[in-house]
């Protein structure tokens, strides 16, 4: 791996994101546009993000009657920027 590629990989962080909600138990339909999702927290790597996501998901689902959509996504993912 070239040094500049290693530096680029080191700059990538991970976001734990949640889709927009109309009210606490109702997600907007068609919430696949990641630009509208809210960043809950940032992480230095995917594994820390995923571990925290599973903990948050478990806690939130105790108070909701439906599954919580939350995802870990790289900070440089093009879906966050849109077209």
CA angle 58, 65, 36 (to 5 degrees): 75
Whether 5 is in a domain gets the answer no
Whether 56 is in a domain gets the answer yes
Whether 6 is in a domain gets the answer no
Show pLDDT as tens, one digit a residue, over the chain (83 residues): 455 544 445 578 999 998 876 555 555 555 567 888 889 899 999 999 999 999 988 887 787 666 677 889 999 988 888 65
Structural domains in the chain (count): 1
Whether 2 is in a domain gets the answer no
Whether 27 is in a domain gets the answer yes
Whether 7 is in a domain gets the answer no
pLDDT digits (tens, 9 = 90+) for 24-33: 555 555 556 7
Whether 4 is in a domain gets the answer no
Return d(Cα 67, Cα 57) in angstroms, integer.
Answer: 8
What pTM does this model have?
0.69
Domain around 52:
12-80
List, in order, residues 6 or more apart from 59 with CB less than 8 Å away: none
């Amino acid at each position: 791996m070239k040094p500049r590629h290693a530096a680029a990989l080191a700059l990538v962080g991970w976001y734990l994101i949640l889709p927009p909600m109309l009210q606490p138990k109702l997600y907007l339909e068609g919430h696949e546009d990641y630009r509208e999702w809210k960043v809950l927290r940032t992480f230095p790597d995917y594994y820390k993000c995923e571990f925290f996501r599973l903990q948050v998901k478990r806690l939130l689902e105790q108070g909701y009657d439906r599954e919580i959509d939350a995802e870990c996504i790289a900070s440089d993912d093009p879906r966050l920027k849109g077209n």
